[in-house]
């Protein structure tokens, strides 16, 4: 199982592509903001952190084995403005399992861009990588993230009370998931999120 997308991955309003050093300023605009990172598993990033991450996991162009991830920058098709990024983690060949994550610039909120981008990545996960199940894990206080994955047809599977040490205190964790056949049914009912 591997994933080598043809870039850019296009949706009606967006282009998804690997991140590069040219994206540093745009990445700092949201990954460097404390409020954006409030419920995310990383602290606000500075330029040197972004450079190091672009040289490793954020710069990957393909998935060639389990344990890897692919982060795609999301840009507006009409302006080529980077507004966020979506990551697909490939957890297990045996269980055909993965996980999706995302972070977007607040200036792009409430327009459906995150759902559109995540739907494109779920298509890659199920159609190209051949996964059977994709999950999304989130701090239970992150209501916006829960609304997004629900809009994508993911179902709430678990609520783990005080299960992770998160930025200095114990946090509750919610797990959402979708199976390949559920995703296909959702896409038939909702061709574009």
Does residue 1 surpass a pLDDT of 80? yes
Q: SS3 string of 105-174?
A: CHHHCCCCHHHHHHHHHHHHHHHHCCCCEEEEEEECCCHHHHHHHHHCCCEEEEEEEEEEEECCEEEEEE
Beta-carbon contacts of residue 65 (< 8 Å; ≥ 6 apart): 2, 90, 93
Cα pseudo-dihedral 43, 63, 104, 126, rounded to 10:
-130
What tokens appear for 188 in the block?
């038939």
Does residue 192 surpass a pLDDT of 80? no
Fold type of domain 9-189: Aminopeptidase (3.40.630)
| β-sheet bridge partners, residue 170 | 165
Provide the residue count of the chain.
Answer: 193
Q: What is the pLDDT of residues 27-60, one digit of tens each?
A: 999 999 999 999 998 999 999 999 999 999 999 9
What tokens appear for 14 in the block?
């967006």
Provide, rounded to the nearest whole percent, the portion of the chain with pLDDT above 70. Answer: 99
Backbone angles phi, psi at 155, to 5 degrees: -105, 145
- 8 A C-beta contact, residue 86 and residue 121: yes
Q: What is the pLDDT of residues 98-125, one digit of tens each?
A: 999 999 999 999 999 999 999 999 999 9
pLDDT at position 51 = 97
Q: What is the pTM of this model?
A: 0.95
d(CA 21, CA 55): 9
Average pLDDT value for residue range 54-72: 96
Q: Is 19 exposed, middle or buried (0-12, 13-18, 19+ CB in 10 A)?
A: buried
For residue 186, give the 3-state DSSP assignment.
helix
Q: What is the pLDDT of residues 175-185, one digit of tens each?
A: 999 999 999 99
Strand order in the sheet with 169-179: 9-10, 14-18, 69-76, 82-92, 97-104, 133-139, 169-179, 155-166
> What is the pLDDT confidence band of residue 193, given thresholds at 50, 70 and 90?
low
Average pLDDT value for residue range 8-27: 98
Angle at 156 between CA 151 and CA 159, to 5 degrees: 140
Average pLDDT value for residue range 171-193: 92
């Amino acid at each position: 199982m591997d994933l080598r997308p043809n870039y850019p991955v296009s949706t009606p309003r967006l282009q998804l592509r690997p991140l590069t050093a040219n994206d540093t300023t745009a990445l700092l605009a949201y990954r460097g903001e404390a409020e954006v990172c409030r419920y995310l598993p990383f602290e606000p990033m500075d330029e040197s952190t972004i450079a190091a991450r672009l040289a490793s996991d954020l710069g990957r162009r393909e998935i060639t084995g389990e344990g890897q991830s692919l982060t795609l920058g999301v840009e507006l098709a009409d302006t080529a403005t980077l507004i966020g990024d979506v990551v697909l983690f490939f957890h297990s060949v045996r269980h055909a399992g993965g996980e999706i994550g995302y972070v977007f610039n607040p200036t792009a909120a409430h327009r459906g861009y995150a759902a559109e981008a995540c739907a494109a990545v779920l298509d890659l996960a199920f159609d190209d990588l051949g996964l059977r199940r994709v999950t999304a894990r989130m701090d239970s206080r992150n209501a916006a993230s829960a609304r997004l994955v629900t809009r994508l047809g993911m179902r709430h599977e678990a609520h783990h009370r005080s299960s992770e040490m998160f930025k200095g205190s114990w946090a509750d964790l919610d797990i959402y998931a979708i199976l390949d056949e559920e995703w296909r049914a959702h896409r038939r009912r909702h061709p574009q999120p």
